[in-house]
Amino acid sequence: GRLQSAASEAELTKIQQVEAHFQQETQAVSAGQYVVEDAEHTLVEPSDEFRKTALIPSLEKYDALYKESVKDPDAFWSRIASEFYWKEKWEVNDGKIHTENFDIREGPIKVEWFKGGKTNICYNALDRHVEAGRASDIAMYWEGNEPGYDSTVTFGQLLELVCQVANYLRSLGVKKGDAVVIYMPMLVELPVAMLACARIGAIHSVVFAGFSADSLAQRILDCKPKVVLTANGVMRGAKLINLKSIVDDALAQTKKQGHAVETCLVYGNEVATKKEETAWVGERDVWWQDVIPSQASRSEVEWVDAEDPLFLLYTSGSTGKPKGVLHTTGGYMVYTATTFKHAFDYRPGDIYWCTADCGWITGHSYLTYGPLLNGATVVNFEGVPTYPDAGRCWEIVDKYKVTIFYTAPTAIRSLMRAGDEPVKKHSRKSLRMLGSVGEPINPAAWKWYYEVVGDSRCPISDTWWQTETGGFMITPVPGAFALKPGSATFPFFGVQPAIVDENGKELEGECSGYLCIKASWPSAFRTLFGDHSRYETTYFAPFKGFYFSGDGCHRDKDGYYWLTGRVDDVINVSGHRIGSAEVESALVLHPQCAEAAVVGYDHDVKGQGIYAFVTLVEGVDYSEELRKALVAKVRSQIGPFAAPDVIHWAPGLPKTRSGKIMRRILRKIAANQIDELGDVSTLADPGVVEQLIELKGK
Out of 170, 236, 554, 566, point to the residue binding ligand ATP (CB under 6 A).
566
Please give the sequence-ordered ranges of beta strands (E in DSSP) within 335-483, or none if there are none. 351-354, 377-381, 404-407, 433-436, 460-462
Q: Which is nearer to ligand ATP, 90 or 561 (CB)?
A: 561
- Piece in contact with ligand ATP (CB under 6 A), picked from 187-195, 222-230, 460-468, 477-485: 460-468
Contact 589, 577 (CB under 8 A): no
List CB contacts of 113: < 8 A, sequence separation 6 or more: 77, 97, 98, 306, 307, 330, 331, 334, 520, 522
Q: Which is nearer to Mg ion, 592 or 681 (CB)?
A: 681
DSSP class of residue 566 equals E
- Report how many residues bind ligand ATP under the rule CB under 6 A: 26
Residue 492 beta carbon to ligand ATP: minimum distance, rounded to whole angstroms: 12
3-state secondary structure of 147: coil
Helices 663-670 and 687-695, axial angle in degrees (round to 10): 30
Residue 83 beta carbon to Mg ion: minimum distance, rounded to whole angstroms: 31
Q: Which is nearer to ligand ATP, 111 or 361 (CB)?
A: 361
Backbone angles phi, psi at 417, to 5 degrees: -60, -30
Q: Does 551 bind ligand ATP (CB under 6 A)?
A: yes
Out of 439, 556, 582, 595, point to the residue binding ligand ATP (CB under 6 A).
439
The CA distance from 311 to 204, in Å, is: 5
Out of 15, 223, 397, 437, point to the residue binding ligand ATP (CB under 6 A).
437
Residue 537 beta carbon to ligand ATP: minimum distance, rounded to whole angstroms: 15
| Partner from Mg ion, ligand ATP, none binding residue 440, C-beta < 5-8 Å depending on class | ligand ATP
- The footprint of Mg ion (CB under 5 A) covers 315
Q: Which long-range contacts (CB under 8 A, 24 or more apart) does 37-43 make?
A: 39/443, 39/484, 39/485, 39/486, 39/487, 40/2, 40/484, 40/487, 40/556, 40/560, 40/562, 42/484, 42/485, 43/482, 43/483, 43/484
| Partner from ligand ATP, Mg ion, none binding residue 569, C-beta < 5-8 Å depending on class | none
The CA distance from 186 to 367, in Å, is: 11
The CA distance from 614 to 245, in Å, is: 35
Contact 39, 486 (CB under 8 A): yes
Active site residue 602: no
Interface characters, 339-378, with ligand ATP (x: CB under 6 A): ---------------------xx-----------------
| Partner from ligand ATP, Mg ion, none binding residue 486, C-beta < 5-8 Å depending on class | none
| Partner from Mg ion, ligand ATP, none binding residue 439, C-beta < 5-8 Å depending on class | ligand ATP
Residue 610 beta carbon to ligand ATP: minimum distance, rounded to whole angstroms: 20
Q: Which is nearer to ligand ATP, 166 or 437 (CB)?
A: 437
Q: Which is nearer to Mg ion, 315 or 339 (CB)?
A: 315
Please give the sequence-ordered ranges of beta strands (E in DSSP) within 35-178, or none if there are none. 98-101, 110-113, 118-119, 138-143, 150-154
Given the residues 249, 455, 568, 645, the one annotated as active site: 568
Q: Does 550 bind ligand ATP (CB under 6 A)?
A: yes
Q: Parallel, antiparallel, or unpaired: how do β-strands 324-328 and 527-528 relate?
A: antiparallel
Out of 440, 579, 639, 659, point to the residue binding ligand ATP (CB under 6 A).
440
Q: Which is nearer to ligand ATP, 201 or 440 (CB)?
A: 440
- Burial (CB < 10 A; 0-12, 13-18, 19+), residue 287, is middle
Backbone angles phi, psi at 343, to 5 degrees: -70, -30
Q: Which is nearer to ligand ATP, 101 or 319 (CB)?
A: 319
| Partner from Mg ion, ligand ATP, none binding residue 414, C-beta < 5-8 Å depending on class | none
- Calculate the CA 340 to chain-centre distance: 13
Residue 589 beta carbon to ligand ATP: minimum distance, rounded to whole angstroms: 19
Q: Does 467 bind ligand ATP (CB under 6 A)?
A: yes
Please report which helix (H) or strand (E) contains residue 312, including its range: strand 309-314
| Partner from ligand ATP, Mg ion, none binding residue 462, C-beta < 5-8 Å depending on class | ligand ATP
Q: Does 491 bind ligand ATP (CB under 6 A)?
A: no
Q: Does 660 bind ligand ATP (CB under 6 A)?
A: yes
- Calculate the CA 167 to chain-centre distance: 31
Q: Does 462 bind ligand ATP (CB under 6 A)?
A: yes
Q: Which is nearer to Mg ion, 371 or 409 (CB)?
A: 409
Query: Comparing C-alpha atoms, which of 241, 244, 266 is closest to residue 384?
Result: 241
Contact 353, 405 (CB under 8 A): yes
3-state secondary structure of 140: strand
CA 488 vs CA 70, 177, 309, 343, 408: distances in Å: 19, 36, 30, 11, 13
Q: Is the peptide bond before 388 cis (omega within 30 degrees of 0)?
A: yes
- Burial (CB < 10 A; 0-12, 13-18, 19+), residue 506, is middle
Backbone angles phi, psi at 650, to 5 degrees: -130, 100
Residue 46 beta carbon to Mg ion: minimum distance, rounded to whole angstroms: 31
Please report which helix (H) or strand (E) contains residue 327, including its range: strand 324-328
Q: Does 463 bind ligand ATP (CB under 6 A)?
A: yes
Interface characters, 293-332, with ligand ATP (x: CB under 6 A): ----------------------xxxxx--x----------
Q: Does 488 bind ligand ATP (CB under 6 A)?
A: yes
| Partner from Mg ion, ligand ATP, none binding residue 354, C-beta < 5-8 Å depending on class | none
Q: Which is nearer to ligand ATP, 117 or 440 (CB)?
A: 440
Residue 340 beta carbon to ligand ATP: minimum distance, rounded to whole angstroms: 15
Q: Which residues participate in catalysis according to the annotation?
A: 568
Q: Which residues bind ligand ATP (CB under 6 A)?
A: 315-319, 322, 360-361, 436-440, 462-464, 466-467, 488, 549-551, 563, 566, 658, 660
